[in-house]
Amino acid sequence: MISQNLTHRHRVAILFHGFCFMVSWTGVVILGILLFHVTGEGLHWLDLQFLNDFPSRFPEKAGIKSALFGTVWLISLTALISIPLGVGAAIYLEEYAPKNAFTRFIDLNISNLAGVPSIVYGMLGLVIFVRWFNFDRSVLAGSMTMSLLILPIIIIASRESLRGVPNTIRQAAFALGATRWQTIYSHVLPASLPGILTGFILALSRSIGETAPLIMIGALTYVAFVPEGPMDEFAALPIQIFNWASRPQQEFHELAAAGILVLLIVLLLMNSVAVFIRHRLEKKNQ
Amino acid sequence: MMPNVMEKALPKNKEERKISTVLQAKDLTISYNKTVAVNNISISLPERKITAIIGPSGCGKSTLLRSFNRMNDFVPGANLKGQVMYRGTDLYGRDVDPVEVRRKIGMVFQKPNPFPKSIFENVSWGPLINGFRKDIHERVEQSLRRAALWDEVKDRLNNSALTLSGGQQQRLCMARALAMEPEVILMDEPCSALDPVSTAHIEDLMFELKQNHTIIIVTHNMQQASRVSKFTAFFDAGNLIEFGETQNIFTLPQHKRTEDYVTGRFG
C-alpha cells in the first residue's frame, strides 16, 4: 500500500519536473527562433556605416545614428529621473511611512499603475510635459514620460527588496545609537541593493523598447541630427525600427532587423553593467 | 539632551563602589494596543551587577528589557505609562533623544545579528557613526579582546562576519555593543541560540564585564540565571512577583508562584 502510494508520488514529481522543463524551454526556443530570424535578416546590414549614418530614403545609405543617440539620451535621462524618485519613494513607503489605510491605498494604486497601458502614459506626457511644461518634443519630455511609466516597477521592486532585509539588522543598528537615516544608509540600502538593481534592469529594459508613448509625445522618425541637450528633439530606436518595418521594400525590413540587433546589443550592454554591479555587491555582502 | 552621567557612573575609588541604582522603573505599565504586557511594576536595578529577569514565555520580561533602551519605540501600538529612570533622568521624558539613550544603554539580541559586513566594520560602525574617529583600530581591538574574540579573528578582520560560527557571532555582537562603551548592557536571551560551549563562553564574558558594566539579562534558562546573576526578578503575566538576591529567589522564594517556577513545576 505504502509503496504504491510512493510510486504515484514519484510519478507526480517527474511530471511536474517535466512540465517546468518544458515551460522554461518554450521561452528559450521562441527567443532563439526570433534571434535567428532577425540575425539572418539584419546581420549583413550591420556595419560602421549603418551606425554612423542618419536615416535616408535609400536603404544602402540609411543609418541609425540619430535613433541610437536618441535612445542613449532617452534612457540615461530616464534613469537619472526615475531611479532617485523610485528608490526614494520605496524607502519612504517601506521605512518611514506608518502602516495605515492610507499607505495601503497608495500601495494598491502603485500596483495598479504598473498595469496601465503605456499609450495612456504617452497621452499624459503629451498633455503635461509637452504642452503644460512647454518642453515640446524634447528628450526631456520623453524621459519624463518614460519615467512615469517605469516608476511603479522600480518602486515595487525596491520595496520588495527593502522588505527582504531582516528587521534584526535594523534593530542592531538602532541599538548602537544610530539614527534612522544612518541605519538605512549603512545597512538597509546596501543589503537590498542587489534586488533594487534587478528592478532597474526590468524597468529600463522595458523603457528602452517602449514605442507607443514616444509616438504619442511626438518623437521624430526622420532626424538628421543627434540631440546635444535635454531640450533637443530626438528619435529613438524602437520608433526607427517601427518606421522601417512599416515600409513596403524588403531592404527596409532588413534594416529594421539590423535596428533590432542594435537595440538588443544596447540592452545587453546596459543589463550586463547592472548584473556586474549586482554580482560584485552580492559577493561583498555574501 | 541627557546630562552627562558617565563621570558619575565610574567612581574613582573602591569605597565609593557600594551598590547604587542605575535603572529604575516606577509604576511602569507597557501595553501593545489593548494588551497589557507589563503591569504597573516598580524595580530598581543595581549598578555593576548582573540582574536576571526570569519568567514564563509572554510574561513581559523582554518588553520590560526593551523599555530600558527604548527599543519598544519601533513596535507599532506600543504604549508606555509610568517612568523609567536612568541616573535621575526619565528616559521617556520630553527632551530625551532615544538615539542618545541607546548610545549609553547597549543591547545584545536573542539571535546573533551581525551586520553582513566585515568583522572589523561590525565593531567600528557604532563608534564611527557617533563621531569617534581617532584610533578606531585600537577601539576595535580592545572591544574584540573584551569580548574574548580577538585571538580567534585577529587574522581575518576583513572577512565577512557571517563566516563566523553562531557563538562567535554572538561574541562579535557583544564586542559591537562594547565598542560604544555603554554603561548598561541589556541581553535578551543571548544564549538561547547557542550550544553549551558557546554559552559557557558568553557567561564567562559576563563575569568579566560586570567589573565595569551593569548587565541585565532576560533568560529562559534558570540554571543560567542562578549561575551568572547576583539579583533575580521573577515575572509572571506582566507582574513582578518577586525580586531579590538570586540565592534567595532560588532557595527561599517568598511566593508560591516563584517556587513553582524555579523548581520547574510550570513554565
**Model confidence at B9: pLDDT above 60:** no
Whole-angstrom distance, CA of residue B258 vs CA of residue B243? 10
As a whole number of angstroms, the distance between CA B173 and CA A118 comes to 50
Phi, psi of B82, deg, nearest 5: 100, -160
State the pLDDT at residue A45.
84
CATH superfamily, domain at B6-262: P-loop containing nucleotide triphosphate hydrolases (3.40.50.300)
Q: How far apart are CA A285 and CA A278, in angstroms?
A: 10
Side chain identity, residue A82: S
Regions of chain A with pLDDT less than 70? 1-4, 221, 285-286
Q: At what angle do helices A250-285 and A189-209 cross, to 10 degrees?
A: 180
For residue B4, what pLDDT is reported?
Answer: 42
Is the model's pLDDT at B2 over the cut of 70? no
Residues 6 or more apart in contact with residue A88 via CB below 8 angstroms:
none
What number of CA atoms fall less than 13 Å from residue A56's CA on the CB side?
A: 14
CB of A99 less than 8 A from some CB of B = yes
Please state, in angstroms and as integers, the Cα–Cα distance from residue B14 to each residue in B18, B19, B45, B245, following that order. Answer: 8, 11, 20, 22
Q: Alpha helices of chain B — where are they, by DSSP H?
A: 6-9, 61-67, 98-104, 119-129, 136-146, 150-153, 166-178, 196-209, 222-228, 246-251, 256-262
- β-pairing, B239-245 vs B231-236, is antiparallel
pLDDT in tens, B208-257: 899 999 999 999 888 899 999 999 999 999 999 999 999 999 999 999 99
Instruction: With CB atoms and an 8 Å threshold, state whether B102 touches A176.
Output: yes
Q: A251: which 3 cell numbers?
A: 531592404
CB contact under 8 A, A175 and B160: no
pLDDT of residue B18: 59
CA dihedral A112, A118, A119, A120 (to 10 degrees): 30
- How many other CB atoms are found less than 10 A from the CB of residue A53? 16
Contacts of A186 in chain B (CB under 8 A): 125, 129
Distance CA(B109)–CA(A168), nearest Å, equals 8
Distance between start and end Cα atoms, chain A: 46
pLDDT given at position A17: 96
Contact between chains at B106 and A175 (C-beta distance less than 8 A): yes
CA distance B113 to A184: 16
Degrees (nearest 5) of the Cα angle B220, B224, B229?
Answer: 110
Of B191, B218, B184, the C-alpha closest to B64 is B218
A169 CB within 8 Å of a chain B CB = yes
Residue A2's pLDDT is what? Answer: 57
Grid cell listed for B180:
560604544
**DSSP state at residue B160:** B
The whole-number pLDDT of residue B131 equals 85
Termini Cα distance of chain B: 41
pLDDT at position B187: 95
How far is residue B62 from each of residues A44, A218, B248, measured CA to CA in Å? 72, 62, 23
- Give the minimum alpha-carbon distance from B114 to chain A in angstroms, rounded to a whole number: 7
Write the DSSP symbol of residue B212: T
Q: Where are the domains of chain B?
A: 6-262
Cβ atoms of residues A203 and A87 within 8 Å:
no
Interchain proximity B129–A177, CB inside 8 Å: yes
Task: Return all residues near A133 (Cβ < 8 A) that are at least 6 apart.
Answer: A141
Mutate to test the interface with B, among A176, A186, A192 (most CBs of B within 10 A): A176
Res A160: pLDDT: 94
- What residues pair up with B185 in beta bridges, in sequence order? B106, B215
Q: Which of A209-247 are b and which e, b meaning 16 or more Cβ less than 10 Å from the residue's Cβ? A: bbbbbbbbbbbbbebeebbeebebbbbbbbbbbbbbeee
| Single-letter residue type at B136 | I
Q: Taking residues B25-30, report their average pLDDT.
A: 94
Task: Label each residue of chain A as H, E or C.
Answer: CHHHHHHHHHHHHHHHHHHHHHHHHHHHHHHHHHHHHHHHHHHHHCCHHHHHCCCCCCHHHCCCHHHHHHHHHHHHHHHHHHHHHHHHHHHHHHHHCCCCHHHHHHHHHHHHHCCCCHHHHHHHHHHHHHHHCCCCCEHHHHHHHHHHHHHHHHHHHHHHHHHCCCHHHHHHHHHCCCCHHHHHHHHHHHHHHHHHHHHHHHHHHHHHHCCHHHHHHCCCCCCCCCCCCCCCECCCHHHHHHHHHCCCCHHHHHHHHHHHHHHHHHHHHHHHHHHHHHHHHHHHHC
The residue-averaged pLDDT of B185-213 equals 90
Q: What is the 8-class DSSP label of residue B199?
A: H
Mutating which of B67, B70, B99 best tests the A interface, going by the most A Cβ atoms within 10 A?
Answer: B99
Residue B11 has pLDDT above 60, yes or no: no
Query: For residue B183, what is the DSSP state?
Result: S
Minimal-distance CA residue of chain B relative to A190: B116
| φ and ψ of B219, to 5 deg | -145, 145
Subunit contact B100:A174, Cβ cutoff 8 A: no
Angle of CA points B178, B184, B185, to nearest 5°: 55
Which residue of A166, A182, A285 is in closest CB contact with B129?
Answer: A182
Whether residues A171 and B162 touch (CB distance < 8 A) is answered with no
Looking at residue A93, its pLDDT comes to 94
Model pTM score: 0.84
pLDDT of res. B99:
92
Which residues does chain B have within 8 Å of residue A104's beta carbon, measured at their own beta carbons?
none
CA atoms within 13 A of residue B247's CA, in its CB half-sphere: 1
Minimum Cα–Cα distance from A181: chain B residue:
B129
- Contact (CB, 8 A) for B91 and B68: yes
